[in-house]
Amino acid sequence: MSKTGRNDLCTCGSGRKYKKCCESKDRSGGARSTIMMIAVGGALLAALAVGIASFTSERSGGATRVWSTAHGHYHDANGMEIP
Ligand SMILES: [Zn+2]
Ligand SMILES: [Zn+2]
């Protein structure tokens, strides 16, 4: 008696190799770990978004000024003139 190898044809009769077919389904907790990965990824993305938001709001707090040599004064990020 031999166990189904990962490179043997799957026992479900799909004609595909076991490792490409039912192996993930047979392994317990496979789907659960995928959900965990998505949850962690989502949390990471949310944290990143918050970081970017705080960064941009910091910049728009008056730090972004562009010196105009033609006009002889600063322009802010919106192109408004600062006397
Ligand atoms: Zn299968
Ligand atoms: Zn100007």
Helical ranges in 1-83 per DSSP H = 23-26, 30-59
Distance of CA 47 to the CA centre of its chain: 10
- Is residue 6 assigned to a domain? no
Q: What amino acid occupies position 26?
A: D
Contact 11, 22 (CB under 8 A): yes
Residue 4 lies in a domain: no
Cα angle value 47/49/54 (rounded, 5°): 95
Q: Considering the entire predicted model, what is its pTM?
A: 0.30
Whether 1 is covered by a domain: the verdict is no
Longest dimension (CA), the chain: 88
What pLDDT is stored for residue 78 in this prediction?
A: 76
Which ranges of the chain have pLDDT less than 50? 60
Q: Which ligand lies nearest to the CA atom of residue 75 in the structure? A: 2
In a domain, 26, yes or no: yes
Rounded distance from Cα 55 to ligand 2 centre (Å): 27
* Residue 4 pLDDT: 74
Spacing, Cα 67 to ligand 2 middle (Å): 9
> Which pLDDT value is given to residue 17?
94
Q: Does residue 9 fall inside a structural domain?
A: no
**Domain presence at residue 10:** no
Tens digit of pLDDT for each residue in 43-60?
999 888 887 676 665 554
Distance from Cα 72 to the centre of ligand 2, integer Å: 7
Cα of 39 from ligand 1 centre, angstroms: 28
Structural domain count of the chain: 1
Q: Which residue range forms the structural domain that includes residue 71?
A: 18-82
